[in-house]
Amino acid sequence: MRRPWGWLCLLVLLAAPVMAQDVPPALKDWQDWVLHEAPLHACPVLVTNGKTMGAKECTWPGRLALDAGKDGARFAMDVHVDARSWVSLPGDSRNWPQQVTAGGKPLVVLDHFGAPALQLEPGDYSVHGVLPWDSRPARLRVPGTIGLVTLTLDGNAVARIERDGDQLTLGEAAAAQRAADALSLRVFRKLTDGMPAMLETQLQVNVTGSAREQLIGPVLPKGFTATSLQGGLPARLENDGRLRVQLRPGHWMISLGARSSDVLGHLAVNLPGDPWPKQEIWSYADDTSLRTTRVEGQAVDAGQADVPSDWNSLPAYALDNANGLAIEQGTRGGEGGKGDQLALTRDLWLDFDGRGFSANDRLVGTLARSQRLDVAAPWQLLNASQGESPMLITVGDKHTSGLEVRDTNLELSAGLRMPRSGDMPSGGWQLPLEHIEATLHLPYGYRLIGASGADLSPDSWIAQWSLLDLFVVALIALLAGRFLGWPWALAAVVFLALSLHEGGAPRWTLAVALALALLMRALPEGRLRLVSRLAAGALLLLAILWSLPFAATQMSYALHPQLEGKVELPVESESSESRAVSMKQEVKPQPAPAPAVEEASTNAVPMSAPAPPPPPAPPAPPADILAGQEAPAGYSEPKHKALSSVTVTGTPLTASQTIGQEMDAHRPLQAGRGTPHWDVGNNYHLEWSGP
């Protein structure tokens, strides 16, 4: 029977603080019994800056009124108690409280950790007592839990109360010291966007002179409700929004938390009078997961404004009676949040006849918004798999092929096809990509002139040109024009532009030969001119002999590209998904069965025209041959014949299988066409960066 009562105790614990009035009459008599083992259930939990500290506070003492004379002092204090707790009293072992009463009933003062205290049950009390002494002490112990104190000395009220820790001075500061009393404030606020918006205020208080009590504020702007208060000075937030503080000399920090009751828009401040500063410094922290905002105000440098170090990275603004803060909303929720973070790695193969491209894509990243991946024309999605699991390709609302994805961490492999060459979309997928790396595989006889849309294509013909290459071509063309005539300069430019980056093309030999030929013209008759003529002729002959095999090789490659290297014909790998298609071998002709699936796959390979029927199957061998006996004379083993027919069948998919992407091994999926894997070394790297 202990478990049902345990659940009943938990239920009452959760419901009692809020809905105690809704307890059924039959259970009201059980409340004290159920809550016996949870004595602190009614105590509030301390919350600071929106975070639960975990501790509960059960005693709430009010203002302490102390009337001190020569023979002793009388004190009065109101206390609210939420659970049986210890309540500290003023006094110490030398000045022990006497005649302590609450509501006219005497109370026993006990020693609690060396200090006088009362142990009270839950309720509201008005505690009165006497502190006798023979001679009035200079200081009296007052617990730190008592924030506000009113002191009367020999019938005269003390305006400037001086406290040092838990010691209260029974007197008043001198008049000379009173004249030096000063108070300066600096106000820093941090506004955090949210639901609701949170405002953290830090008051930097610099106090000189005597200890005293002062009202400051109102400390919160209009539209904010206080949620927490902490600091090094005793303080209380009054009902009118002003902060009552008992000051003492030193530099202090008071933090005040608040929440907004409205959605942030335009914020204006109405600064109170002295000692409040003429300007407040606000720091703003937005929440992009909730919405994006744009803030307008009088911006200041956070470093020069001495903003607290924890807020240095936030934008800071100066607010006064004339300048407020305008917060304009941009996008909300998922509209402005972090989007899909995907990177694409692609291998791209050009057909040997140059009429289309095949691609193998690998999409890796995180999906924050999208649940469907579609491929835009002219790309065609043939097959896809997530890890080792094949995915079902369906047709979307805009007649685009794609697939449904349920996992936010994406590692997708897909085969694509573009049936024509021309302008090619860089991605093809209908979602933003952060980065694309592609490797273009070209057959022999092809060269990539340039990729105008790619951010980086270092291997293309245009990208390989450098300033040195342009200088070499211009130099050789100039030498050819001066020596042979300007038509030959044009021929040299065309030859060098086509052959400069091809292996085995003559470059420097031709340039040196032309330079020596021009030098020969400038030299007078003699040995030097003869040597120049012989060297120019030899180098020119060497350039011609070098160019002839190069030109022959290039001509052979143009006529027969496969001669450029050992070519491995593109063997299209069979997709693993193709095993899902069942094929039946029929020996005898049979009528065609009814189709099992009416709708065709969106990316199925088109079927060719039906071939003529094959010849009939050979007769079976005699039974005695099958039994292992010797074949009769004249009998020959029949040759294998082609299949009589091939029937492709399928089974319709249920909705649950389509949504969950969990496929039965015996059910068909799109196999698509095979993906090429050949590599003849004629590869080009392409790259796109940024969304």
Chain segment 102-141, per-residue pLDDT in tens? 888 898 888 888 889 988 888 899 999 998 888 888 888 8
Please, what's the b/e burial string for 363-378 (b: 16 or more CB within 10 A of its CB; e: otherwise)?
bebebeebeebbbeeb
CA atoms of 277 and 275, how far apart (whole Å): 6
Q: Under 8 Å CB-to-CB from 535, ≥6 apart: which residues?
A: 516
pLDDT of residue 372: 84
pLDDT of residue 662: 47
Q: Under 8 Å CB-to-CB from 625, ≥6 apart: which residues?
A: 631, 635
49 has pLDDT over 60? no
| DSSP-derived secondary structure letter, 20 | G
pLDDT of residue 347: 92
609 has pLDDT over 70? no
pLDDT of residue 181: 75
State the pLDDT confidence band at 322, using cuts at 50, 70 and 90: confident
The residue whose two tokens read 């205290």 is 117
- Of 4 and 294, which is predicted with more confidence? 294
Mean pLDDT of 258-265: 85
Q: Mutual orientation of helices 467-484 and 508-522 as an angle, nearest 10°?
A: 40
Q: Report whether 129 contacts 74 (CB < 8 A).
A: yes
State the pLDDT confidence band at 21, using cuts at 50, 70 and 90: low
Over residues 140-178, the pLDDT tens digits come to 888 888 878 888 888 888 877 777 778 888 876 544 445
Cα separations in angstroms, 533 against 341, 488, 511, 526, 530: 68, 20, 15, 11, 5
Mean pLDDT of 634-639: 48
585 has pLDDT over 80? no
pLDDT of residue 421: 64
pLDDT of residue 652: 52
Mean pLDDT of 323-327: 87
Q: Mutual orientation of helices 527-559 and 508-522 as an angle, nearest 10°?
A: 150
User: What is the C-alpha radius of gyration for the chain, rounded to an integer number of angstroms?
Assistant: 46
* 305 CB burial (10 A radius; 0-12, 13-18, 19+): middle
287 has pLDDT over 60? yes
Q: Report whether 31 contacts 23 (CB < 8 A).
A: yes
Mean pLDDT of 282-299: 83
Mean pLDDT of 330-336: 61
pLDDT of residue 7: 44
pLDDT of residue 547: 73
Mean pLDDT of 53-82: 85
Over residues 380-405, the pLDDT tens digits come to 888 888 877 888 888 877 778 888 88
Of 209-223, 324-338, 373-387, where does mean pLDDT reach its minimum?
324-338
365 has pLDDT over 80? yes
Q: Locate 17 and state its tokens.
A: 């603080």
- Of 670 and 17, which is predicted with more confidence? 670
Over residues 513-537, the pLDDT tens digits come to 777 777 676 677 777 777 777 777 7
Of 345-354, 390-399, 609-618, 681-690, where does mean pLDDT reach its minimum?
609-618
State the pLDDT confidence band at 648, using cuts at 50, 70 and 90: low
pLDDT of residue 644: 63
Of 11-25, 277-291, 416-430, where does mean pLDDT reach its minimum?
11-25
Of 209-213, 266-270, 331-335, 610-614, where does mean pLDDT reach its minimum?
610-614
Of 241-245, 602-606, 652-656, where does mean pLDDT reach its minimum?
602-606
Q: Locate 558 and state its tokens.
A: 């143009």
Mean pLDDT of 78-107: 88
Which amino acid type is present at position 170? L
pLDDT-above-90 percentage for the chain:
4
Mean pLDDT of 170-188: 69
Over residues 559-579, the pLDDT tens digits come to 777 777 643 434 344 433 333
State the pLDDT confidence band at 670, using cuts at 50, 70 and 90: low
180 has pLDDT over 90? no
614 has pLDDT over 70? no
State the pLDDT confidence band at 1, using cuts at 50, 70 and 90: very low
Q: Under 8 Å CB-to-CB from 547, ≥6 apart: which residues?
A: 505, 506
- DSSP helix/strand/coil, 73: strand
User: Between β-strands 341-350 and 435-441, what pairing exists: parallel, antiparallel or unpaired?
Assistant: parallel
Closest C-alpha among 364, 353, 359 to residue 379: 359
Q: Report whether 260 contacts 285 (CB < 8 A).
A: no
The residue whose two tokens read 């292996």 is 503
Of 264-278, 450-464, 520-534, where does mean pLDDT reach its minimum?
520-534
CA atoms of 304 and 311, how far apart (whole Å): 13
CA 276 to chain centre: 41
State the pLDDT confidence band at 201, using cuts at 50, 70 and 90: very high
Q: Under 8 Å CB-to-CB from 322, ≥6 apart: which residues?
A: none
pLDDT of residue 190: 92
